[in-house]
Structure 1
Amino acid sequence: MATIGLDGKPKVRPMQYMVLEDGKLWFCTNSKKEVFAELQANPFVELCGCKLEKDEMQTPWIRFSAEAVFEERQDIRDAIIDKSAIVNALYKTMRDNPIFKVFYLKDIDGWMTNLGHVKGLENREEFARPVHFKF
């Protein structure tokens, strides 16, 4: 997940989405972390990921931008604590700890394709076509 740092420079960190609820991708963080302060100052993010395949040109990737929206939702906090071993180890006895924050992404706009779709390579029939999505 890429954010704009408090110093105005881009910051990138691994971020795992935790649950899909109410048609929203939910994430979590700690209010004492830099990423929380960054998202409070500028809630816009971009995410990118891929899963390397044996045939690297068939490797699928996704990239999208969105806006992070924080909500106080104990049901989401509980679902994340129950799902994630890491979060569970941190918060299982402190489910209502005020530093544990949850947020979802809105206005998602992005692309899915594969690495074979790069300039300079011939288009091949077996490549999946790029897909634009918004929600």
Structure 2
Amino acid sequence: MTGNELIVDYLTSVPAWYLATVEDTPEGAQPHVRPFSFAALQDGEIQFCTATTKDCYREMQAIPRVELTAWKPGRGWIILRGRANLEDRANATVREEGFKHMVALGEDWDDPADPRLTFFTIDDAEAWLCDIDGSWNPIEL
């Protein structure tokens, strides 16, 4: 299993995982964390889904540094950090999966081609599986 396959397997095995972005406010940089739940592999690359109308998208446009994490009992927690690449390169299959996933969450989309629905990847990524014993085990990407 490749590192990206391991990450997608982990993220899709939990109900939600958490993505942190940064907003540059007049008071200084402010981290924002919110739940996400869609991740899919396309040509060995992890595709994530959001909307161009959401704060997280605007924040990633301004400051692309992101970090995500999830915890699963018995498996420790996973961390993935890097730079959001907002170039939407999702193919029709991933776009359909993302659309269905978002609709199942209760979001309102016209169809998989809805221009608000967008996919992103993470460049210059680093990842670890961590455990309560303090270990940070690198995931080769």
TM-score category, normalised to shorter length: 0.7 to 0.9
1:1-135 equivalences in 2 (<5 Å): 1-7=19-25, 8-53=29-74, 59-72=75-88, 73-75=90-92, 76-83=94-101, 85-86=103-104, 90-91=108-109, 93-115=110-132, 117-118=133-134, 130-135=136-141
Q: Shift of residue 98 of structure 1?
A: 1.1
- Equivalent pairs: percent with the same residue? 25
Contact 2:99–2:117 (8 Å) recurs in 1: no
Q: Shift of residue 87 of structure 1?
A: 6.0
Compute the RMSD of aligned alpha carbons: 2.3
* Pair 14,23 (structure 1): closer, same or farther in 2 beyond 3 Å: same
1:54-99: CA deviation from partner (whole Å, max 9, x where unpaired): xxxxx511112111112333523223224555368633x4222111
* SS of equivalent to 1:14: strand
Contact 2:20–2:66 (8 Å) recurs in 1: yes
Contact 2:38–2:98 (8 Å) recurs in 1: no
Which letter does structure 1 place at the counterpart of 2:56? Answer: V
Contact 1:48–1:61 (8 Å) recurs in 2: yes
Structure with max Cα Rg? 1
Which letter does structure 2 place at the counterpart of 1:48? Answer: T
Question: When the two structures are superposed, what TM-score results if normalisation uses the length of structure 1?
Answer: 0.73
Count of equivalent residues: 118
Distance 1:87 1:81 in 2: 10
Unaligned runs of 5+ in 1: 54-58, 119-128
Distance 1:98 1:12 in 2: 24
Question: When the two structures are superposed, what TM-score results if normalisation uses the length of structure 2?
Answer: 0.70
Q: Structure 1 or 2: larger strand share?
A: 2
1:19-72: CA deviation from partner (whole Å, max 9, x where unpaired): 11111111111111100100000111011211134xxxxx51111211111233
